[in-house]
Amino acid sequence: MRRLLILLSLTLLTIQLYAQDDSAPTPPISADNITALAPSAQIDFDAQFYDPFFPSPNPEATPDPDGRGEPIPAAEFETGWFVSDDAGRYAIQTVDQGLWVVDADYTRWYRIQPPRNADELRPTFIDAVFNDNPQNSARWPLFAVYADSQRYTVMVEDGGIYGNPLISFFVNSTQQPGSIWSTCATDNNYDCNPVVELTDPATSEGIVWQLPSNNQLTAMQLEFSTMMEIDVESGVTEILYGPGADEDALIRIGRIEPPFAVTTSPEGAVKRWDLGQGVATAEATVENGPAVFGQLSADGRYLTWRDPMNETLYLLDFENGENRTIADLNGDYAQFLFVTNDASVILGVHINDDPVVVAWDTATGDRVELGEYRECSRELDMARLSADDTTLTIGCDTGLEIWQIATD
């Protein structure tokens, strides 16, 4: 049996900033300003930097962020895995499989702490996502997925931001979680459903389950409880895993954020999928494939990709099917690739063995060297480009580094 957990609770994160300027909105990254992309803020995992966020007359005191009289111990980190949203919130994985979450103005903090099982062992962290409600700028709660060998559990809590208690639930299941996202039917965040992509261990086939929203959970029970059991037959909506039924979907490009997925075939057939609907939403054919590594723009229109031998960098427009050669890579390998929504810039993070950030102007193919990212004791763990193209964040074992367009 596997256990999935989705949970959220209040806590503190230690954070250190280079600078924070709220006087003007941060411009999106584009070919017009790419040379101004530089580090603007930093979160150090080894820093006990509470002031000025939680000033205390006792410099040795651990702050009590939510005023409940329960000081929060400092977290320990050994990985730079994180998830973020366009509001500037970060959830960062800790050594004990928890998550530390900080909001955009660094005044409210959350700790996501998975419960222990019957053997007093913590489940394994799998994935997390902020509530993606385009009609509501308040992106809480955060959905986080955990797994152990006993059962599938979903825990949801918003720390009282909305003022109403949330319901957690569990489902007895053998499915293995891989990723999570959310879908919202209305502008009410209580109507947002977590959606999980899983793998059936018996068949190795993909499965997509839409799980109940908090309002649906409330309607299911006669008396309020913070934990309830959900029956698979009545409480879980299974969605067709589209790539599993497609003979061309032999290769799936990794690191594509769900609900998007991109698959390719050895013959060069590239398809973009909506996993939440179970359908392919765009298709194109490329030469010099298959596309084995790449990334979509946040809106899903563009795919930047490279060939298996790292010879060439390409840009595919799913709207018209045009696939353009951008630049010769000459064997250079980027750990992470990103393309902006206007398709004017492709970003590469960590080239070969070098901790650097580079960019390609897609109109000219020119490569722009933007410099090294923060010092790490090993290779980076995660990099993400925000959906609005304003922020590139890089995470490793020593902390996070936030890159934005310098406006001074």
| CATH code for the domain in which residue 316 is found | 2.130.10.10
Which residue, of 239, 267, 298, is where some domain finishes?
239
Q: What is the pLDDT of residue 60?
A: 52
In a domain, 186, yes or no: yes
**Domain limits for position 186:** 1-22+41-239
Residues 151 and 186 placed together within one structural domain of the fold: yes
Residues 67 and 84 placed together within one structural domain of the fold: yes
**Mean pLDDT of successive 10-residue stretches along the chain, which has 408 residues:** 36 37 79 97 65 43 50 72 85 86 62 74 86 64 79 58 62 82 84 90 90 84 75 86 90 94 94 96 89 94 94 96 96 97 98 97 98 94 96 93 91
Residues 273 and 363 placed together within one structural domain of the fold: yes
Q: Can you tell me the distance from the alpha carbon of 265 to that of 275, in angstroms, rounded to the nearest whole number?
A: 18
Nearest in space to 218 (alpha carbons), one of 171, 164, 161, 180: 164
Residues 109 and 211 placed together within one structural domain of the fold: yes
Residues 212 and 88 placed together within one structural domain of the fold: yes
Residues 128 and 263 placed together within one structural domain of the fold: no
Q: What is the pLDDT of residue 236?
A: 87
Residues 198 and 247 placed together within one structural domain of the fold: no
In a domain, 157, yes or no: yes
CB atoms within 10 A of CB 147: 24
Outline where DSSP puts E strands in 241-353. Answer: 251-252, 260-264, 269-274, 279-285, 293-296, 302-306, 312-317, 323-328, 334-339, 345-351
In 294-334, where does DSSP find H-type helix?
none
In a domain, 174, yes or no: yes
Residues 232 and 356 placed together within one structural domain of the fold: no
Residues 182 and 315 placed together within one structural domain of the fold: no
In a domain, 2, yes or no: yes
Residues 138 and 230 placed together within one structural domain of the fold: yes
Token pair belonging to 119: 């053997």
In a domain, 185, yes or no: yes
Residues 302 and 356 placed together within one structural domain of the fold: yes
Residues 190 and 291 placed together within one structural domain of the fold: no
Q: What is the pLDDT of residue 169?
A: 65
In a domain, 36, yes or no: no
Tally of structural domains, the chain: 2
Q: What is the pLDDT of residue 102?
A: 73
Q: What is this structure's pTM?
A: 0.86
